[in-house]
């Protein structure tokens, strides 16, 4: 399984950079992030939107960036979003469009079937669910169209929509998105951003919690967050050793079996072990 834009399997770090600050975007591209997301939405003031779009178009006129470049456009259904898509979708340097505040599968279908692409097929899309309605329709959105390659949460807007103050109040929504992605055959979603760039301990704890819920990787808003996210999501030495044992046993003997320590393994356990090894070898 590959990520939403066909990059290396299982990207772990997705770094946002404001589209109206080309120098920040350039630094993001060499920051070590697996994917850079150029933001035309929340990070850009209204009077800078046109400049941000034009600067992003200049960036994407050529392919060959160090890492895939996604663009988060303005909210669907607005003139700005239409202009974002029209200007950017067919440019060769674009890896995917990220769509904020998605609430219905019809939005995905319409965009997928009307968007120009730089290569055969449609531009890869990624939906951000940021409202109660989006969460309720999570699976329908995830399964809406083959060009949709991923879904994830926008937790700041979702928190405000639900009136949730405590972090644990979003756990049900998080699990729903994880299940919806899996049911639709998509890659595991990445966690939403941790807004305090100084709170690296809190970020690590939050990543550990997200990992237990089934997320894989996380979006970031500052390069200093990237190593914390990567450490949290890369397998531990014990997990790697166990995965190697499982795969070795499965290679030697087909079918369900028990390891010497009594651990029962079957096809699902082997698949999980193979994913662990893929994460380790991703670089």
- Known binding residues are 72, 130, 157
Tell me whether residue 216 is exposed, middle or buried, using C-beta atoms within 10 angstroms of its C-beta: 0 to 12, 13 to 18, 19 or more. Answer: buried
Cβ within 8 Å of residue 42, ≥6 positions away: 100
Q: Give the burial string for 83-113 (b: 16+ CB within 10 Å, else e).
A: bbbeebbebebbbbbbbbbbbebebbeebbe
Q: Greatest CA separation found in the chain?
A: 65
What is the sign of the dihedral through the CA atoms of 204, 196, 27 and 58?
positive
- The number of CA neighbours under 13 Å toward the Cβ of 186 is 33
Binding residues for substrate are 72, 130
Distance CA 193, CA 173 (A): 15
Cβ within 8 Å of residue 273, ≥6 positions away: 242, 243, 244, 246, 247, 250, 265
Q: Helix, strand, or coil here: 78?
A: coil
Which tokens is 82 given?
């239409």
Distance CA 58, CA 68 (A): 15
Binding residues for Mg(2+) are 130, 157
């Amino acid at each position: 399984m590959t990520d939403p834009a066909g990059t290396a399997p299982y990207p772990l770090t997705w770094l946002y950079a404001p589209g109206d600050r080309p120098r920040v975007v350039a630094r993001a591209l060499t920051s070590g992030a697996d994917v850079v997301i150029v933001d035309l939405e929340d990070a850009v003031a209204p009077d800078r939107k046109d400049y941000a779009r034009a600067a992003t178009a200049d960036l994407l006129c050529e392919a060959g960036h160090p890492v895939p470049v996604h663009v988060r456009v303005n909210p669907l259904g607005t003139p700005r979003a239409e202009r974002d898509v029209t200007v950017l979708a067919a440019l060769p340097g674009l890896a995917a469009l990220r769509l904020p505040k998605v609430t219905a599968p019809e939005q995905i279908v319409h965009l997928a079937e009307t968007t120009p692409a730089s290569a055969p097929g449609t531009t890869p899309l990624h939906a951000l669910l940021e409202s109660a309605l989006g969460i309720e329709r999570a699976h329908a959105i995830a399964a809406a169209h083959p060009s949709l390659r991923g879904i994830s949460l926008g937790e700041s807007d979702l928190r405000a929509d639900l009136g949730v103050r405590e972090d644990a109040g979003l756990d049900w929504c998080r699990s729903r998105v994880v299940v919806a992605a899996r049911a639709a055959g998509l890659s595991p979603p990445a966690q939403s951003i941790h807004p305090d760039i100084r709170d690296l301990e809190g970020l690590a704890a939050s990543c550990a919690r997200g990992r237990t819920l089934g997320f894989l990787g996380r979006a970031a808003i500052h390069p200093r967050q990237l190593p914390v996210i990567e450490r949290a999501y890369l397998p531990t030495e014990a997990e790697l050793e166990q995965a190697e044992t499982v795969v070795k046993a499965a290679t030697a003997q087909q079918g369900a079996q028990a390891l010497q320590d009594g651990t029962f393994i079957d096809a699902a356990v082997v698949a999980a072990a193979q994913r662990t090894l893929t994460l380790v070898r991703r670089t």
